[in-house]
């Protein structure tokens, strides 16, 4: 009787481990062969990009694609690619990739930064770091349109003559950051504002639009920049390291499916900073799901069928 | 370029109106995540039941083992869920299966403990009567112990499912999907209060409903209530 029981237990244990090894009904097959998984982090922007990549792949191939969202950090996304849990990283920012996954010092020259990450990812992780989507999500000094016109402001250096009368709202964490933080800023640009208010990053756009602040430091792809008609001041001394966004994939994957390589190359320069602002804005302020935003964006651009490299659409609804 | 004019401006709405609007716009997506969330929790609990109920019966008869098994299950239970997910992620990678395994591990203790207690509390006189009637070991288990202990076992499953639904919500961080995805998106959106609610309310509702349904089932299965009815 005891052996009977033990047998049953063993059978059950075997059954459990079997079910754990493949996927269960109703949950989709994230471990299935032939399914391409796209990994993203949790910001609205990266999730939208994840679905954009999904839409492109499904339009130009008959591969099944699944988007894994909300991974905690860029290192976790990279780990998923290294372990083979995911195939494509939807968005990587040069600056983050340099200091994060590659553990190097920040580089402020955009071209050098890009070539460094391309080499680094190929050497260390056997991954291809693709050309940028065409936008960068970096820190940006922002002023209102009126202010920009009144003082003829185009670059950050243009602020220098009037800076001692200006109030500035900046990200809390930027005040204490090493390398590209407040202290380094003072050293590079050689001017200071009348008062600097550290604040929650989400509030700076409203603060400058309402006139409570004269100039603020925000993120360059935030949708509110476009909707509040804020002016982005060019970082003319290349103080902030570049955060150009690119997709990434393992070389094994693109050797197995060369079409994926072409699709990801096709994405180069397709999303300008203003476009990304708008996509973020629609998703965040109009409560539209990122998947819907991505699909509409691709449909309106006809899935970039007219941009190089030219591909034959197969899939699609 | 996107058709913003065609979209409703939600910035002037109250958070409840926004919530209503979001659910209206994204109903199918919400339902899909709800179902996914529920399935992940249910699978974890069911797998645990398959292992833990027989194990509970087994240790009820082998008293020495009971302390060990329950002790180990107790230790598993003390690990914080986020830590457990991260540890398992190292071994099993990201995705739904890791979350199912996590739910499984958290479900083992309540189910084993309740099965053990349920079986232990079966009146010895009943077992003796069964033996006296010439019942086999299997008949005793199936016809006497199981029915007597079933309502207590159900209480354990109920406990496990409610915990499992909570654990699954955290599963979003390792890419499992479910309602946690919606909550997390709300946290990241610049004015996502309504989205957070759209994810959190169904999660809470699911836990409450699961609790109520299983509580009802538990009462139905209680042998004393059945005796009264017939």
pLDDT, tens digit (0-9, with 9 covering 90-100), for A21-42: 455 666 654 445 678 999 998 8
Ordered structural domains, chain A, with CATH: 3-136+242-304 (3.40.190.10), 139-233 (3.40.190.120)
| All residues at 6 or more sequence positions from B9 whose CB lies less than 8 Å from its CB, including other chains | A286
Quick check: A39 contacting B, CB < 8 Å? yes
Segment A279-296 shows an average pLDDT of 88
DSSP conformational letter for B79: S
pLDDT the model gives residue A119: 95
Q: Which of B94, B100, B171 to probe the A interface (max A CBs under 10 A)?
A: B94
For B7, which of A68, A85, A282 is closest by C-beta distance? Answer: A282
Range in A102-106, A185-189, B207-211 the model is least confident about:
A102-106
Q: What ipTM does this complex have?
A: 0.73
Least confident of A218-232, B32-46, B101-115: A218-232
Element (H, E) at A276: helix A273-285
Contacts of B9 in chain A (CB under 8 A): 286
Closest residue in B to A47 (Cα–Cα): B185
Chain A stretch 91-130, residues whose beta carbon is closer than 8 A to a beta carbon of chain B: none
B44-69: pLDDT as tens digits? 999 999 999 999 999 988 888 888 88
pLDDT tens profile B187-226: 877 778 889 999 999 999 999 999 999 999 888 887 776 6
CA closest to B10 among chain A residues: A286
Where does residue B1 rank: exposed (0-12), middle (13-18), buried (19+ CB within 10 A)? exposed
Q: Which residues of A touch B195 (CB under 8 A)?
A: 287
Tokens of B110: 């309540």
Overall average pLDDT of the B80-101 stretch? 88
Q: Give the H/E segment covering residue A216.
A: strand A215-219
Identify which of A70, A286, A300 has the shortest CB distance to residue B181: A70
- Say which residue, A158 or A312, is predicted with more confidence: A158
Give the closest of A223, A224, A284 to B192, CB-based: A284
The mean pLDDT of A198-206, rounded to a whole number, is: 85
Q: Does A46 lie at the interface with B, CB-CB under 8 angstroms?
A: no
Predicted TM-score (pTM) of this structure:
0.80
pLDDT score recorded for residue A316: 47
| Contact check, Cβ <8 Å, B58/A222 | no
CB A231 within 8 A of CB A144: yes
Top pLDDT among B8 and A269 is at: A269
Mean pLDDT of chain A: 85
Please give the residue of chain B at the shortest CA–CA distance from A48: B185
Q: Which residue has the higher pLDDT, A164 or A24?
A: A164
CB-based burial label for A308 (10 Å; 0-12, 13-18, 19+): exposed
Write the burial class of residue B227 (CB in 10 Å: 0-12 exposed, 13-18 middle, 19+ buried). Answer: exposed
Cβ-Cβ contacts under 8 Å, B137 against chain A: 1
* Distances in whole angstroms, Cα of residue A60 to Cα of each of A35, A53, A63, A157, A299: 15, 11, 9, 46, 13
């Amino acid at each position: 009787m005891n052996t009977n029981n033990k047998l049953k237990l063993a059978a059950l244990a075997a059954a459990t481990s079997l079910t754990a090894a493949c996927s269960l009904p109703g949950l989709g097959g994230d471990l299935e062969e032939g399914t391409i998984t796209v990994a993203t982090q949790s910001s609205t922007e990266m999730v939208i990009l994840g679905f954009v990549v999904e839409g492109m792949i499904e339009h130009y191939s008959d591969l099944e694609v699944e988007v894994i969202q909300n991974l905690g950090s860029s290192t976790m996304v990279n780990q998923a690619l290294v372990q083979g849990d995911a195939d494509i990283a939807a968005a990587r920012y040069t600056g983050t990739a340099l200091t994060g996954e590659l553990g190097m010092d920040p580089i402020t020259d955009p071209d050098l930064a890009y070539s460094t990450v391309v080499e680094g990812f190929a050497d260390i992780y056997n991954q291809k770091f693709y050309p940028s989507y065409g936008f960068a999500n970096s820190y940006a000094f922002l002023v209102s349109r009126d202010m920009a016109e009144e003082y003829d402001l185009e670059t950050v250096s243009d602020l220098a003559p009037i800076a001692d009368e200006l109030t500035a709202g900046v990200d809390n964490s930027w005040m204490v950051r090493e390398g590209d933080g407040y202290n380094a800023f003072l050293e590079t640009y050689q001017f200071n504002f009348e008062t600097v208010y550290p604040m929650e990053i989400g509030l700076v756009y409203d603060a400058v639009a309402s006139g409570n602040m004269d100039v603020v430091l925000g993120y360059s792809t935030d949708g509110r920049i476009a909707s509040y008609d804020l002016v982005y001041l060019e970082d003319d001394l290349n103080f902030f390291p570049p955060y150009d966004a690119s997709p990434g994939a393992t070389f094994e994957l693109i050797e197995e499916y060369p079409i994926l390589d072409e699709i990801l190359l096709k994405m180069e320069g397709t999303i300008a900073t203003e476009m990304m602002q708008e996509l973020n804005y629609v998703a965040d302020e109009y409560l539209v799901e990122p998947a819907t935003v991505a699909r509409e964006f691709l449909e309106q651009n006809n899935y970039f069928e007219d941009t190089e490299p030219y591909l034959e659409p197969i899939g699609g609804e | 370029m996107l058709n913003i004019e065609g979209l409703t401006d939600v910035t002037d709405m109250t958070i409840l109106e926004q919530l209503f609007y979001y659910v209206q716009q994204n109903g199918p997506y919400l339902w899909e995540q709800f179902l996914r969330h529920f399935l992940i929790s249910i699978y974890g609990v069911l797998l645990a039941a398959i292992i833990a109920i027989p194990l509970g019966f087994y240790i009820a008869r082998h008293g020495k083992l009971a302390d060990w098994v329950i002790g180990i299950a107790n230790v598993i239970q003390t690990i914080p869920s986020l830590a457990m997910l991260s540890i398992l992620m190292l071994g099993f990678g990201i995705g739904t299966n890791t979350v199912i395994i996590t739910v499984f591990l958290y479900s083992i203790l309540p189910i084993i403990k309740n099965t053990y207690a349920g079986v232990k509390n079966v009146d010895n006189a009943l077992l003796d009567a069964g033996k006296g009637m010439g019942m086999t070991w299997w008949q005793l288990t199936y016809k006497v112990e199981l029915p007597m202990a079933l309502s207590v076992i159900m209480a354990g499953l109920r406990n496990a499912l409610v915990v499992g639904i909570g654990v699954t919500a955290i599963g979003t961080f390792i890419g499992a999907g479910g309602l946690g995805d919606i909550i997390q998106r709300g946290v990241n959106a610049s004015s996502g209060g309504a989205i957070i609610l759209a994810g959190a309310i169904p999660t809470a509702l699911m836990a409450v409903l699961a609790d109520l349904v299983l509580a009802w089932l538990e009462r139905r299965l209680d042998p004393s209530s059945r005796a009264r009815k017939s």
